[in-house]
Structure formats: C-alpha cells, structure tokens
Chain A
C-alpha cells in the first residue's frame, strides 16, 4: 500500500527522520493527500522484536554513530562518545521515550519576559503563545491517547509511584498523580493497554505506549501517500541558484549515495543531527551552512536540567516492575525565583534494571559504597528530575574539525556546560527528592548525575526576528522558504516538561501550515 516515489519526483515533501516530529508530520501530510517521502537513518524494527534486556536493546535501537563531546558536563567525562541516549530506527526516539506528555505552561513560552535577562543565558520569547497551541495540544493528546485527557483514565500506580506519592503527601505536595502518559490505560486506537511490564525505554513490546512506528507511520502508509525509506542516512541537502532546496542526498542501505528530489524538505533528525545536517550542507551560496544567516544553527543546545534520586528502604520495593515513568510531582514546575533560580522542574518516577543501574547510578564509582548500593537494588525507589535549563550560545552542536563519518561528513561535537541557574535548580531538586524519600523512611539516598541526554533541544531555534534564530513560528527557516525544521531543535527554550507532546503538537500545526501554503502556491 505504501507509495514508492521516484528519486526524480520533485513534487514530494521529503522529511528527514521518522520520530515524534517527522513521523507525525509525515502522517498528517499524507492524510491531507500530500505526497511524502520519509528518509530514516535506522532500520525498521517492529515492536514485537523489541528486547526486554537493557544492553541488548541498546545495541538494537540506540544511535551509536561516532560523536565527541566537550565542555564541563559530567557526561563528557563519563560517556565521552555518548552525548545522547536516542534512537536510530523507524519511529526514532518515540520507541524509547517514557511517554510523559505534559503541556508547557503559559509563561514558559515567554521566558525572557517573565524571567528577565539572566546573565550568561540567551533567553528569548517564543514567537507563539500557549493559546495558539492549545487546539493543537488537544489534537496531539487525542492522537497519542494521553491519560487524564479526553476522558482517558490514569494508569494504575506501581510500587515506585506509591512511595513517591506517600513522600509527596508527607511534604505537602498537592499535584502528584500517575501522570499524563501516552500509554494506553485501556485498549484504544487498536492498541492494547499497558501490562506493567517495565522496559518502557527498551520499546514497548505490546504497543501500549504511543510511538510513530506503529501509529502515525502505518496510518500514513495506508493512505498510499507516504513512503518510509529505512536505512537511508541523509548526508546533505542541496539547493539551486535561487537558494531554494531541491534535493536530499542520502546513503542507502548499501552505503550508495542517492539523491531524492523534493519540493519541500523538513528536517527532523533530533537536535544533534538536524543542525549537523544544515551545517554539513554548506555551499558557496551558504558558506556557514543552510538557514544559518543568524549564526544560531547548532547553538543554544539544551538538554533539560536533569538528575535522579534513588533511595534505599528497609524493605523491598521492586521498582522495576511496571511503567518506568509511573508518576509525577508537579508542584515545583512553577516559576518561583524565591527558590534561588528561574524556571521550574518536574519530578517523575524512574526505574532502571540492574545493568543500567550499575552503569548510571554513579558513573565511574566503585568500592564498597557502590557495591552496597547495588546490593540494595530490590529495596530502591527512584525519580528523575526534569527542569528547564538555560539556553547558552556556547552550548552547541559543532562540526568536528578532523573526524569524519564513513560518508566523509564531519561528525558532531557536542558541547555543554551547566549554567549557574541549572546547578541551583538541580541542587534544589536533589534536596527535595531526598526529602521525599527520607519522609517515608529511606535509609540512604543517592543524588545521581544526569544520563546522556534524551531531551535534546534548541539547536535550530524559533524566533520572531531572523537575526535571533533559525526558524519562524511555523518551523519554516527564516532564510529558505521551502526548508523546515520539524523536531525539538525548534524549541526557543526548553520549559520544564518532557518535550515529545510539544514536538507532536508543533508537527500537527506545521502540517496545516504546509498544506495551506502549498495550496496557495507560496512554497
């Protein structure tokens, strides 16, 4: 049923990436009758083939192409070639994500206005408002089946959640529940309900968690208007003398370079690959890379202020059982500068299996302190901190000066250093997280450092003025009318919330804009 398109067909919209942004956009356009080719760097692995084993799954799904890192973040020391824990497969990181689907708060679209100038930060207001996005948020929540929206019940709480909730109650937190999750609490949309299996990060073998792999993509394919080409690693976007983009060059499954002509190109390769691709597409007309007249491509790399708190109790918890992200406390998500920082953070339960707990609890740690923590694994509870980090120009995805990939393209070099605001927020969150667990009898707790980033944001940011950013409020690049960005790299600022719902929301809205403008013949 999937439509195969000719490489010389210059009427198609080419989308690079099949995750939350690309996969959603592809389906939305196909539903409107627009011809779409999605180029996906990874393989197509159906959900039945996902693996309930952390390292084996990591080998199956993770983006493991060579990358380097720099800057002051601890990830650069502990995992120097793994800045991000994201996915290279059809469905992108929607195979791996936990499912938390929260709308941004109104003030988070206007951080410069609400927080004021923050020394060393490159804050900017989004060129859109929550009110403008609300109808699209509603569509995204319905599409994804987000719990506690559209009359969908919340998921039942597992042991890890029950501990979080008991601690939240003791501390007087009011906004604590099992989350707004894009995980079916009952059968919906021809997908079954959550079986509390755990291994959400390894891909949901039941298909209960929303992923473009088994929702948007097959629905788009069923229209006959969407072709997904797996194992198609894009290396360059080409343009004509007028500056309009005309084709996308990619390496196919045999490593042979192919060129797909395009009417419109939408980049959705996540916040490391998307700017890398624009930079690697530099030409004599665009010597600094495509859509980079502002110099902001690759800059303002954000990854959320994260960290975890794990705690040990006298008795068993078995926190790995059930939904990985099984509940949330939202009370700290507000902007309240009296805490010593701007912006806010969410606290969400998290569990790792033994292999990943060993790798991430205290990277590089060893000895009795470490081993005794591992010995207490069955009695652990845990939460993840996700808060707004400050955009900073020097936090950036750059092209490596020497190292190249097998297609001869410079590899990405990912630089990040915490802003003082990020550190103050993380320390506050560590303190609160440890207090939550102490309140219910934890005998020991661990302020665990950030993992390689799953939330990669901001490297092609949205701005009102062309000199401040890369794309306008529709994700259309300021410089090139038929070149769009359709992933989290559009984010002007990161907000406290997990980004996927907003990426999907922007993709639905972008599809409307594309259809409108294509219909009007402006692009």
Chain B
C-alpha cells in the first residue's frame, strides 16, 4: 500500500546536510521518498523509493507546471507503486524503464541532470516505448483529474449544486 503522509519534522537540518541534500530535492530514507522542505513523504510498497523519486521527477518533466508542488506529482504517480504490488510485469516495466533513464543519463542518473532540457532530450529518445506511454497515459488522468489542482488552472468543476452559472458569470466577459 502506497501512502502519502504529512512529514513531521524528523530530519534535522544537520542530517539533511549530512545526506548531501539541499533545497527542494527529494530524499530517500528507508522505503520512503521525502520532501524535506514541503513536509510530506511517500512510502513505497513495491517499487524502490529511488524509482519513485525518479518517477516524480519524470512526471514533472512530462507535464511541467512550475507552480504545482511535487506533492501533486507524487499523488499522480503513486498508482504505479500500487499496481506494481499486484502486477509483476508492471513493476518490471517501471523499474526497468527508470533504470534505462538512469543509464542514459550517465553517472549521476536521471535526477542528477540539472537542466530540464537535458532530461527532455532523453525522454524524446524513449517517448515511443511502452514504459513512457504507460507513464504518460496514466499521468494525463492522474494529474489533471486531481480536484485540488483545478483552481490552479482556473477551473471550477462541479456547478450544479451552485445553481449553474446563470447568476455566476457565464457571460461576464468585459475585455472584448
């Protein structure tokens, strides 16, 4: 079972420094991926935590919304961990796909590439693969179908319970 939980302050600044992690980078501890500054963590059950951290980065590179926090990308990809728990072929697809990304990226792995453009160059090489298609195809729903994100896009969602928009601006455009 994949869980996403609010991370209590547990890792001291000193510990973070010791791990060589700074800023917003995700860190791996035990079977969890932790965002040190945003106070959330994600426990993996079937996939390696490292794999999950790279998946989160990959998800952001596929649909880069700079003002959307990592937490939402983590929620969007956690289904792969759940599915990998009951579907060995899926686990292999994801683990091998991420390993391939790391191999293509060289010494520091995929997450170690500092520029998005460099990571995207790698993704363009693999965009026709079943791995990429599985991740992107799932993500287009699991990211954009998160109701918590709709305000970011200026989408108001369900409107019937509010009486529709007949008195709430269906024709309120003023700049034309």
Tell me the A residues contacting B by CB distance below 8 Å: 52-53, 55, 156-159, 162-163, 166, 194-199, 205-206, 314-318, 320-322, 353-355, 357-359, 364, 366-368, 370-371, 374-375, 377-379, 440
Do B159 and A199 touch (CB < 8 A)? yes
Interface bin, chain B? 35 or more
Q: Quick check: is B114 within 8 A (CB to CB) of the other chain?
A: no
Task: Point out the residue from A53, A55, A367, A378 that lies within 8 Å of B154, measured CB to CB.
Answer: A378
Residues of chain A within 8 A (CB-CB) of B160 are 52, 197, 199, 205-206
Residues 149-176 of chain B: 1 if any A CB is under 8 Å from the residue's CB, otherwise 0? Answer: 1100111111111011110111111011
Residues of chain A within 8 A (CB-CB) of B170 are 156, 158-159, 196, 321-322
Q: Do A371 and B173 form a contact, CB below 8 Å, given A198-B165, A199-B159, A354-B155?
A: no
Taking the closest CB of chain A, its distance from the CB of B100, in whole angstroms, is 18
Task: Point out the residue from B141, B159, B175 that lies within 8 Å of A55, measured CB to CB.
Answer: B141
Q: Quick check: is B29 within 8 A (CB to CB) of the other chain?
A: no
Task: Point out the residue from B120, B145, B169 that lies within 8 Å of A367, measured CB to CB.
Answer: B120
Taking the closest CB of chain B, its distance from the CB of A355, in whole angstroms, is 5
Q: Quick check: is B5 within 8 A (CB to CB) of the other chain?
A: no
A355 to B76, CA, bound (A): 13
Do A316 and B154 touch (CB < 8 A)? yes
A407 to B154, CA, bound (A): 46
A359 to B64, CA, bound (A): 16
Do A375 and B65 touch (CB < 8 A)? yes
Do A320 and B173 touch (CB < 8 A)? no
Do A355 and B145 touch (CB < 8 A)? yes
Taking the closest CB of chain B, its distance from the CB of A16, in whole angstroms, is 32
Residues of chain A within 8 A (CB-CB) of B166 are 194-197
Do B153 and A375 touch (CB < 8 A)? yes
Q: Quick check: is B45 within 8 A (CB to CB) of the other chain?
A: no
Taking the closest CB of chain B, its distance from the CB of A204, in whole angstroms, is 9
Which residue of A is nearest B169, CB measured? A321
A371 to B61, CA, bound (A): 10
Taking the closest CB of chain B, its distance from the CB of A89, in whole angstroms, is 18
Do B65 and A53 touch (CB < 8 A)? no
A158 to B164, CA, bound (A): 12
Taking the closest CB of chain B, its distance from the CB of A8, in whole angstroms, is 44
What are 20 A-to-B residue pairs whose CB atoms are below 8 Å? A52-B158, A158-B171, A163-B173, A195-B166, A197-B165, A199-B160, A205-B160, A206-B164, A320-B156, A321-B170, A322-B164, A353-B155, A354-B150, A354-B153, A358-B144, A366-B127, A370-B63, A374-B153, A378-B154, A379-B154
Q: Do A196 and B165 form a contact, CB below 8 Å, given A159-B171, A315-B175?
A: yes
Residues of chain A within 8 A (CB-CB) of B150 are 354
Which residue of A is nearest B174, CB measured? A315
Tell me the B residues contacting A by CB distance below 8 Å: 61-65, 120, 123, 127, 136, 140-141, 143-145, 149-150, 153-161, 163-166, 168-173, 175-176
Do B171 and A322 touch (CB < 8 A)? yes
Residues of chain A within 8 A (CB-CB) of B172 are 159, 318
Do B165 and A367 touch (CB < 8 A)? no
Q: Do A371 and B64 form a contact, CB below 8 Å, given A318-B169, A320-B156?
A: yes
Do A198 and B176 touch (CB < 8 A)? no
Which residue of A is nearest B139, CB measured? A366
Q: Is the interface of A mostly helix, strand, loop or mixed?
A: loop
Task: Point out the residue from A55, A195, A368, A371 that lies within 8 Å of B164, measured CB to CB.
Answer: A195
Residues of chain B within 8 A (CB-CB) of A53 are 157-158
Which residue of A is nearest B140, CB measured? A358
Do B158 and A159 touch (CB < 8 A)? no
Residues of chain B within 8 A (CB-CB) of A357 are 144
A198 to B143, CA, bound (A): 22
A371 to B144, CA, bound (A): 11
Do B64 and A367 touch (CB < 8 A)? yes
Report the 7 A-B pairs with minimum CB-CB distance, sorted nearest first.
Answer: A378-B154, A197-B164, A195-B164, A322-B170, A358-B144, A52-B158, A196-B170
A53 to B146, CA, bound (A): 11
Residues of chain A within 8 A (CB-CB) of B145 are 55, 355
Do A377 and B155 touch (CB < 8 A)? yes
Residues of chain A within 8 A (CB-CB) of B168 are 321
A378 to B157, CA, bound (A): 12
Which residue of B is nearest A380, CB measured? B154
A198 to B64, CA, bound (A): 28
Do A366 and B136 touch (CB < 8 A)? yes
Which residue of A is nearest B63, CB measured? A371
A156 to B166, CA, bound (A): 10
Residues of chain B within 8 A (CB-CB) of A366 are 62-63, 123, 127, 136
A195 to B65, CA, bound (A): 33
Residues of chain B within 8 A (CB-CB) of A375 are 65, 153
A379 to B155, CA, bound (A): 10
Residues of chain B within 8 A (CB-CB) of A374 are 63, 65, 144, 153
Do B173 and A317 touch (CB < 8 A)? yes
A355 to B153, CA, bound (A): 11
Do B171 and A163 touch (CB < 8 A)? no
Which residue of B is nearest A316, CB measured? B154
A217 to B61, CA, bound (A): 50
Residues of chain B within 8 A (CB-CB) of A322 are 164-165, 170-171
Task: Point out the residue from A52, A368, A379 that lies within 8 Å of B157, measured CB to CB.
Answer: A52
A49 to B168, CA, bound (A): 23
Residues of chain B within 8 A (CB-CB) of A316 are 154, 173
Taking the closest CB of chain B, its distance from the CB of A366, in whole angstroms, is 5
Do A198 and B140 touch (CB < 8 A)? no
Do B153 and A156 touch (CB < 8 A)? no
A197 to B160, CA, bound (A): 6
Taking the closest CB of chain B, its distance from the CB of A235, in whole angstroms, is 32
A163 to B172, CA, bound (A): 12
Counting chain B CB atoms within 10 Å of each CB, the highest count among A156, A315, A367 belongs to A367
Residues of chain A within 8 A (CB-CB) of B123 are 366
A198 to B158, CA, bound (A): 9
Do B171 and A197 touch (CB < 8 A)? no
Do A353 and B157 touch (CB < 8 A)? yes
Do B171 and A162 touch (CB < 8 A)? yes
Do A162 and B176 touch (CB < 8 A)? yes
A318 to B155, CA, bound (A): 8
